[in-house]
Amino acid sequence: MRDSTVQALEVCSIEVTVSLIGGCWKLTIIQKLLEGTLRFGELRREVGYVTDRVLTRQLRELEADGLVHREVFPQVPPKVEYSLTPLGESLRDMVAMMDAWGQRWAAEQGVEPAPSVLAS
């Protein structure tokens, strides 16, 4: 378990949640996987600006935290599929809520809203 999570456990469950899904790109990754299993390359193209190295790290953390399942197919060229565990799936409502809230915030600030992941 990562240090930040251990610390969060001493404060409150909310901080635990933030420590697990608060990392850059993590919720975007989860949102993409909510639509179905994806290979590494597909995920990278879907997410956008992320680099290989960062995407790999975030996926490994999500895997270690039990949110993402990683399946390696022993073939050449390599094939690796990523999907959500039930725990990851259980974030569906929260993802939707955060998406909606982010849009509301942008609206109240009079800012051009970010593209909604759910509309895509």
Partner DNA sequence: ATTGACACTATCCTTACGGTTAGTACTGGA
Partner DNA sequence: TCCAGTACTAACCGTAAGGATAGTGTCAAT
Q: Which residues bind DNA (CB under 7 A)?
A: 2-4, 7, 23-25, 39-42, 49-54, 56-58, 60, 70, 72, 76-80
Torsions phi, psi for 68 (to 5 deg): -130, 140
Query: Under the criterion CB under 8 A, does residue 64 sit at the interface with a copy of itself?
Result: no
Shortest Å, Cβ 21 to DNA: 10
Cα–Cα distance, 115 to 120 (Å, whole number): 8
Shortest Å, Cβ 81 to a copy of itself: 22
Shortest Å, Cβ 43 to a copy of itself: 14
Cα–Cα distance, 113 to 8 (Å, whole number): 31
Q: Which stretch binds a copy of itself (CB under 8 A): 38-46, 55-63, 74-82, 107-115?
A: 107-115
Shortest Å, Cβ 84 to DNA: 15
Residues 17-36 that bind a copy of itself (CB under 8 A): 17-18, 20-22, 24-25, 27-28, 31
